[in-house]
Amino acid sequence: MPLDLRVLAFTFFLSLFTSVLFGMLPALTMRKFDLRTAIASRSATGSDRLGLRQALIVCEMALTVVLLAASGLLIRTLIHLQTLPPGFNPTGVMTARVSLDDVRYHDAAAFQKLLRESIDAMRQIPGVQQAAVGLSLPYERSLIMGGISIEDGNETGQKAMADEVYVTADYFATLQIPVLSGRAFTEADGPHKQAVTIVNRTFARKFFHGANPVGRHVFVDTLIVGVVEDVAMAPGIDPTAPIMNEATMYIPAAQVENRQLSVVHVWFQPSWIVRTAAPVEGLTAQMQRALASVDPNLPFSGFYSMHDLLQKTLATQRVEVALLSAMAVLALLLSAVGIFALIANIVAQKTREIGIRIALGSTMQQAMVHTGAPGLRASAFGLVLGLLLCAGALRAMHSVLYGVGVYDATTILTVIAALSAVALIATVLPTIRIAGIDPATTLREE
């Protein structure tokens, strides 16, 4: 992607404006500077400058609360998506994608011969337990089929839209997708036989209202022979989440017609799937040799484990988490530095006053609390203001949160605890210098 000069120019001038603005603020507070008072008190810092610093810390803390809460919600969303039940066993599975947008495989007989012989070749690889082919895989987007008609029962005439995936007979066994009702496909489900389909749990619930659809018909003469568990997929029909369960129909690859092959392979690359007891990383070369033994001119375009597919599907969410978390950590660091600098400056400028207080009977703990109070007060105000801002700002994140509420109590409480701890540490550390103040020395200087 080329560098956008407009964005670069905007960033440059915004940074310049911010630097000039905040560089001028301390100078503006010097308009009320009284030289005689400063000399008498040996300090050039007035209440105006202290108030300005506290105001800046309040703003820093408020923005940090919003950023930390937003990044926390995105992190919890990512964890939720990564831990969703996949509906199959991803362990020990390697997949390889290949383009069949080739005139040689627009013919159903040639296509089925390729699948049959290549699967047989892959089953000969040492350690391979199962092998199959599917038009799409879990965590991927599938072909969307509209105009599906329910042909019998109370739902007769109902029109449906669902994902459609052609698969070979051992697809469900290879991915270990549970068959909930009916049967899986067999080698007998071939061309010129009864057209059959298997639907997933979501399809049965959505279009048959939870009733067992086995034995029912769709597309006039296509018989539903089984129901399988939902698998996590990238949505195409209703993209309300990066991963979800969509109504899906599986059809035997052996029953795909010529006209379908010439269309679907323009948009989709089918995947060869193997399940092995051996490490999947060493399978790629052997899978390529197995395919080359059937067609030397048909290379795989990529190899993916199920973990790779999941990470690819959630790539956008991972980038969002990384960027927002980086900004939140930077904001937290700036807030801590700001609080530390405020209290350290107060300690340095009020050393005489603190020494006199201690000499007159104030305890060390009282002196530390009195000195650190401005930092704690600014932090508390910033925390409250940040929570008020969250009430409106987090609502805008509703469309990118999945499995977690906008006002998630765990996230908000964690942010409050983390910021309170950071503010307390940043306040206490510079006040430790008070322990080194000698009241006697201070009185002699007076």
Interatomic CA distance for residues 334 and 340, integer angstroms: 10
Residue 431's alpha-carbon distances to 75, 194, 328, 349, in angstroms, are 35, 84, 26, 12
CA atoms within 13 A on the CB side of 392: 6
Number of domains in the chain: 2
300, 325, 345 - which closes a domain? 300
Predicted pLDDT of residue 43: 47
CB of 189 closer than 8 Å to CB of 197: no
Q: What's the DSSP call for residue 244?
A: B
> Are 67 and 106 in the same domain?
no
> Are 76 and 127 in the same domain?
no
> Are 253 and 384 in the same domain?
no
Length of the chain in terms of residues written: 446
Predicted pLDDT of residue 112: 93
> Are 347 and 283 in the same domain?
no
- Residue 419 lies in domain: 45-83+316-445
Predicted pLDDT of residue 51: 74
CB atoms under 10 Å from CB of 363, counted, come to 10
CB of 189 closer than 8 Å to CB of 169: yes
275, 300, 325 - which closes a domain? 300
Predicted pLDDT of residue 44: 44
Question: Is residue 406 situated within a structural domain?
Answer: yes
Give the distance, in angstroms, between the CA of residue 287 and the centroid of all CA atoms in the same chain. 32
Of all helices (H) and strands (E), which one includes residue 93?
A: strand 93-97
Predicted pLDDT of residue 398: 85
Which stretches in the chain have pLDDT values below 70? 1-2, 22, 25-50, 153-157, 435-446
Question: Is residue 425 situated within a structural domain?
Answer: yes
CB of 223 closer than 8 Å to CB of 194: yes
> Are 114 and 193 in the same domain?
yes
Hey, is 408 helix, strand or coil? coil
Question: Is residue 291 situated within a structural domain?
Answer: yes
Strand pairing class (93-97; 271-276): antiparallel
At residue 250, φ and ψ (nearest 5 deg) are: -105, 135
Give the residue from 20, 28, 34, 61 showing the smallest Cα distance to 381: 61
CB of 398 closer than 8 Å to CB of 406: yes
Hey, is 301 helix, strand or coil? coil
Residue appearing with tokens 């080698």? 187
> Are 116 and 249 in the same domain?
yes
Predicted pLDDT of residue 154: 67
268, 300, 332 - which closes a domain? 300
> Are 222 and 365 in the same domain?
no
> Are 282 and 338 in the same domain?
no
> Are 352 and 256 in the same domain?
no
- Ramachandran assignment for 133, one of left (phi > 0), alpha (psi -120 to 50 degrees), beta (any other): beta
Hey, is 87 helix, strand or coil? coil
CB of 258 closer than 8 Å to CB of 108: yes
Residue spans of alpha helices (H) in 83-170: 108-123
> Are 178 and 50 in the same domain?
no
Question: Is residue 40 situated within a structural domain?
Answer: no
Render the burial of 299-337: b for 16+ CB within 10 Å, e for the rest: ebeebbbbeebbeebbeebeebbeebbebbeebbebbbe
- pLDDT, tens digit, 9 for 90 and up, residues 247-294: 999 999 999 988 888 889 889 999 999 999 877 777 889 999 999 999
